[in-house]
């Protein structure tokens, strides 16, 4: 869940090509699945539960406009879910791309684990499986993600997955790396930045 009690600053992370991808291990009763039509409702519910959007409708309209309308044939092979034993999606991750100049670079978008399912390893599992998908789809290349100080808990998972804080530009995102690091140094983090 986003921690909106700290100041917001966007930060970029990068995972260099060639790094080992750990195996994704899911708790018993959970399984991976790819997007099927209608799953955008679950995506909106997950993203709203972690405070990424104010309402499920706002989240639903965002995924429709930003991804499903833009590249509908790509979403079914790039939007990954973890489903629980009742076959309901409880976590998601999107393997996408951004253009940097004329080059298309892979990135991870919208990593979310439903608020009531956090703390059991689903975030780590979906990141590892998402990285495997990214390499399978885009090849073994540098992979980027945009995050923020509000996601300081998830940054620890990203670091364990091989991402590093990146003090550069990517895909038009505003990177407040120095300011974000200063804010995060003031927090009691269980990982080193």
Tokens linked to 35: 């997007």
* CATH code: domain of residue 138: 3.40.630.30
Residue 4 placed within a domain: no
What is the per-residue pLDDT across 98-155, written as a single tens digit (0 to 9) for each?
Answer: 988 788 999 999 999 999 999 999 999 999 999 999 999 999 999 999 999 999 999 9
The reply to whether 103 falls in a domain is yes
CA distance 143 to 184: 23
- Whether residue 140 contacts residue 17, with contact meaning beta carbons closer than 8 Å, is answered with yes
Tens digits of per-residue pLDDT, 1-20?
Answer: 889 999 999 999 999 999 99
Work out how many domains the chain is built from and give that number.
1
Element (H, E) at 91: strand 89-100
Q: What is the pLDDT of residue 192?
A: 85
Mean pLDDT along residues 35-62: 96
- Name the residue range of residue 143's domain: 10-185
What is the phi/psi pair of residue 23, to 5°?
A: -75, 140
Task: Tell me the whole-structure pTM to 2 decimals.
Answer: 0.93
């Amino acid at each position: 869940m986003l921690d909106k009690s700290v100041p917001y600053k966007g930060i970029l992370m990068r995972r260099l090509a060639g790094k080992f991808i750990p195996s994704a291990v899911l708790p018993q009763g959970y399984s991976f699945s790819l997007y099927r039509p209608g799953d955008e409702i679950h995506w909106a519910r997950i993203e709203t539960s972690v405070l990424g959007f104010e309402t499920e409708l706002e989240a639903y309209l965002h995924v429709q406009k930003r991804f499903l309308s833009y590249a509908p044939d790509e979403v079914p092979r790039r939007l990954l879910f973890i489903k629980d034993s009742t076959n309901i999606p409880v976590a998601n991750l999107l393997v996408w791309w951004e253009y940097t100049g004329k080059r298309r670079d892979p990135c991870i978008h919208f990593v979310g684990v439903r608020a009531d399912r956090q703390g059991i390893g689903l975030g780590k599992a979906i990141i590892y499986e998402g990285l495997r998908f990214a390499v399978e789809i885009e090849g073994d290349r540098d992979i980027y993600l945009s995050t923020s100080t509000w996601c300081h808990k998830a940054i620890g998972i990203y670091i364990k997955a091989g991402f590093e804080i990146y003090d550069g530009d990517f895909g038009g995102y505003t990177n407040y790396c120095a300011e974000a690091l200063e804010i995060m140094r003031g927090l009691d983090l269980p990982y080193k930045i």
